[in-house]
Structure 1
């Protein structure tokens, strides 16, 4: 089982980040955190490391209703939240890649049947968000 869903789109970096936020919002996800990995590399490792990485941001996406259900079913799942969504583009790329964690990976760590139902719901929503981005791009699960 792959642990991410991926779509590659012919969008500029800024457009892809903005459109990803919008697609997630359409599926009930808000962004709790944002990590600009490129800037962190620049500050901690230098410009060569940042340049080698390219543009790279991690969005911590959360659907509050699903998170509430998940934490009620199994409080330890908080260690796996929020759902990470990566938007990345290497220096010379013509396309931007967007990847979301497959929430069903939580099921492998928990034997709780309620977690499976919640993960399936979150997975369907994340897949729909990515599919909406991939109009002219490629989607893989």
Structure 2
């Protein structure tokens, strides 16, 4: 089982970002964090790196259910979504597979929640 799923887009990086954020919103996710890896690496290491952003996406009702089922699950939240520019100029959008992430935790209720979140994340990525 892969730990993520992804899709390539034939749009600009900026357009991919806006599409992904909108599709996540339609599935009930808000963006808690937005890390511009490209800018951070330039500022901290003075290196050039292709466009790469990590979005921390959260669906509050699912986060609440997960926290009730497993109080320490916050260690694995939020769901990370990566938008990155590939060498050929294409844009790849990837999301962590919550079902794969939860395999390490022996909690049946959490597996059920992870499956539901997986479906919503996949739909958001597929529709981007």
Identify the match of residue 81 of structure 1 among 70, 77, 89. 77
Measured in 2, the distance between the counterparts of 1:14 and 1:106 equals 28
Identify the match of residue 95 of structure 1 among 80, 90, 114. 90
Aligned residue in 2 for 1:139:
none
1:27 aligns with 2:27: yes
Deviation at 1:124, TM superposition (A): 0.2
Give the TM-score normalised by the residue count of structure 2. Answer: 0.96
Measured in 2, the distance between the counterparts of 1:111 and 1:14 equals 39
1:111 aligns with 2:92: no
1:129 aligns with 2:124: yes
Structure 2 residue runs without a partner (length 5+): none
Deviation at 1:130, TM superposition (A): 0.8
Identify the match of residue 65 of structure 1 among 56, 61, 68. 61
Where has structure 1 moved over 2 Å in runs of 4 or more?
Answer: none
Structure 1 residue runs without a partner (length 5+): 134-141
Measured in 2, the distance between the counterparts of 1:83 and 1:97 equals 17
Measured in 2, the distance between the counterparts of 1:115 and 1:14 equals 34
Measured in 2, the distance between the counterparts of 1:107 and 1:101 equals 11
